[in-house]
Amino acid sequence: MDSALLISVSPTSGVPIYRQLIDQVRSLIASKRLQPGEFLPSVRTLAQRLQVNPMTVSKAYSLLQRDGLVELAPGQGMRILPPSPVKIPLNQRRQALLPLLRQVAATAYQLNLTQQQVMDLLAPLLENFDRDSEANPG
Amino acid sequence: MISSPVIDCIAVNKSYKQNHVLRDLDLSIPPGSVVGLLGKNAAGKTTLLKAILGLIRPNSGSITTLDHDAWNLPPDAKARLGYVPQLITLYPWMKVRHMIDYTASFYPRWDRPLIDRLLHEWELPENATIGPLSSGQLQKLAILLAIGHHPDLLILDEPAAALDPVARRAFLATLLDIVSDSTDAPHTILFSTHITADLERVADRVAILKDGQVVYHDSLDTLKDHVKRLRITANAPLPTPLNLPHTLSEEISGPNARITLRNLTPELLARLASDLHATIEVEDLNLDEIFLEFHHA
């Protein structure tokens, strides 16, 4: 599978392109559409395919590498790593999620949704990823 | 190693009679970057680009281009420059092919294969006479003439203004090829535009020009990461004004507020939420919206 086809960006979004790339690679790995051992497209290939600045792509790749999702295999490119045991403390991971949840809460309030209705929406989304997190609890 | 900037403007002023176009303008551009220069009409974009090229002389301040005083660029520095002006004037009686040959004859390292390939890809008829060319075709030709010698510094003034969407994409792809071409020294590109969508694809840096000054210059990612709009909903009426640091715009109505900040930090967000007892929604802004925010009265 040509992994470049799985990735797309919207340059006019308010989210910087490098973060769009990181988010997509993360979710491709989480949903197993990118498997450990597979390679990300080369910086040049992806930049040309998406028509974005190659520096943006290489910035995203180096951040993915820093976060331990991929490794640089010399001469071959960026290889997807197997999910590593989580090293970040639970409290920090909670803090990272909190701003997003605040937005969810605020939007739910504006839409006049009850707690239960929000939970009902969230639960199946979490279940989608559940198989992947079983291997690395807290 | 810190490489010296390709362009370094310090306290540049330029007036035309009573019209003060550039005001103590500072701008420093590192090599290898692709910089989009954004500004409203008459913000001074063309004047700045021409001053960087040594085509007009500032009243005061200094401009260093490719390590030389811009007003006294030696021929070898000029040979490393490429320029696409906003107003393209070429010999109307020449054919496209002759214009290219003529330009190529000035440069020892002209890339004929590249230009031939682009002529074909961009559907420019090489036997057409320049006079009757459409403004889009003329713009394509001017771009070819400016890149055939692989300039170290390419300056384009509204390069995509006359191009249709298909041609604009082709042109952007070419710009990206130039940037990716890392075989020789890093190429630097500076282009003015008011089409922010183009800029978001290719530029890694943005300079926003307003009233003759650069009011923002940093990486595009940093800009998008830092400039945020907050929608605040509190339980009680909010104080007016809120006087938050780096406010670009602020609208407050009772317990609701819509505020755009130039530099939102997680700490500030957390502090605000607890100080105001409010729910705060953070909105990402695209470049178009950010540009508008910088131009609030």
Which of A18, A48, A51 has its CB closest to that of B169? A51
Q: What is the pLDDT of residues B25-64, one digit of tens each?
A: 999 999 989 999 999 888 899 999 999 999 999 999 999 9
Tell me, yes or no, whether B119 lies in a domain. yes
Q: Could you tell me which chain A residue has the CA closest to the CA of B289? A: A14
Residue extents of the structural domains in chain A: 3-80, 90-134
Alpha carbons B5 and B207: distance in angstroms, whole number: 15
Backbone angles phi and psi of B42, in degrees to 5: 65, 20
Alpha carbons B44 and B206: distance in angstroms, whole number: 15
Residues B24 and B156 in one domain: yes
Q: Could you tell me which chain A residue has the CA closest to the CA of B286? A: A14
Residue B227 CA from chain centroid, whole number: 18
Alpha carbons A11 and B168: distance in angstroms, whole number: 15
Residues B141 and B43 in one domain: yes
B232, B256 contact by CB (below 8 A): yes
Burial class (CB in 10 A: 0-12, 13-18, 19+), A103: middle
Residues B131 and B214 in one domain: yes
The pLDDT of residue B238 is: 86
Q: In chain B, how many domains are there? A: 2
Partner-chain contact A106 B280, CB within 8 Å = yes
Q: Above 90 in pLDDT, residue B173? A: no
- In percent, how much of chain B has pLDDT > 90? 61
Partner-chain contact B273 A18, CB within 8 Å = no
B37: three-class secondary structure by DSSP: strand
At B67, the amino acid letter reads: D
Residues B234 and B217 in one domain: no
Which of B173, B195, B223 is the C-terminal boundary of a domain? B223
| CA quadruple B34, B40, B43, B47: dihedral, nearest 10 | 50
Q: Above 90 in pLDDT, residue A105? A: no
CA distance B25 to chain A (A): 27
Q: At B40, which helix (H) or strand (E)?
A: none
Residues B151 and B239 in one domain: no
Q: What is the pLDDT of residues B115-140, one digit of tens each?
A: 999 999 999 999 999 999 998 899 99
Residues B78 and B92 in one domain: yes
Q: Which of A22, A55, A58, A59 to mutate to test the interface with B (most CBs of B within 10 A)?
A: A55
Residues B119 and B44 in one domain: yes
| CATH number, residue B113 | 3.40.50.300
Residues B11 and B30 in one domain: yes
The pLDDT of residue A138 is: 42
More confident residue, B102 or B296: B102
pLDDT band at A135 (very low <50, low <70, confident <90, very high): very low
Residues 6+ positions from A83 with CB-CB distance below 8 Å: A29, A36, A132, A135, A136
| Token representation of residue A9 | 């960006």
Residues B167 and B284 in one domain: no
Q: Above 50 in pLDDT, residue B179? A: yes
Which of B185, B206, B223 is the C-terminal boundary of a domain? B223
List chain A residues with CB under 8 Å of B197.
11-12
CA distance A112 to chain B (A): 14
Tell me, yes or no, whether B195 lies in a domain. yes
Residues 6+ positions from A49 with CB-CB distance below 8 Å: A4, A7, A41
Average pLDDT over residues B3-17: 93
Alpha carbons A136 and B5: distance in angstroms, whole number: 48
Which of A52, A103, A105 has its CB closest to that of B282? A103
The owner of tokens 């937005």 is A103
B259: three-class secondary structure by DSSP: strand
Q: Is B179 on the interface with A (CB under 8 A)?
A: yes
Which of B173, B200, B280 has its CB closest to that of A12? B200
**Domain boundaries, position B282:** 227-294
| Token representation of residue B296 | 């609030």
Tell me, yes or no, whether B251 lies in a domain. yes
Most confident region among A6-15, B58-67, B167-176 by mean pLDDT: B58-67
pLDDT band at A61 (very low <50, low <70, confident <90, very high): very high
Tell me, yes or no, whether B132 lies in a domain. yes
Residues of A in CB contact (< 8 Å) with B are: 11-19, 44, 47-48, 51-56, 59, 99, 102-103, 105-107, 109
Q: Is B269 on the interface with A (CB under 8 A)?
A: yes
The pLDDT of residue B187 is: 87
Backbone angles phi and psi of B253, in degrees to 5: -140, 105
Partner-chain contact A99 B282, CB within 8 Å = yes
Which of B220, B279, B285 has its CB closest to that of A102? B279
Domain spanning A3-80 has what CATH number?
Answer: 1.10.10.10
State the ipTM, two decimals: 0.76
Residues B210 and B281 in one domain: no
Residue ranges of E strands in A23-105: 70-73, 77-80
pLDDT band at A130 (very low <50, low <70, confident <90, very high): low
Residues B198 and B246 in one domain: no
The pLDDT of residue A109 is: 85
Q: Which of A90, A95, A18 minimizes the C-alpha distance to B267?
A: A95
List chain A residues with CB under 8 Å of B280.
102, 106
Partner-chain contact A106 B169, CB within 8 Å = no
CA distance B269 to chain A (A): 9
Tell me, yes or no, whether B156 lies in a domain. yes
Alpha carbons B133 and B156: distance in angstroms, whole number: 20
Tell me, yes or no, whether B1 lies in a domain. no
Partner-chain contact A16 B224, CB within 8 Å = yes
Residues B80 and B118 in one domain: yes
The pLDDT of residue A30 is: 84
The pLDDT of residue B1 is: 47
Q: At B49, which helix (H) or strand (E)?
A: helix B45-52
Which of A18, A53, A103 has its CB closest to that of B202? A53
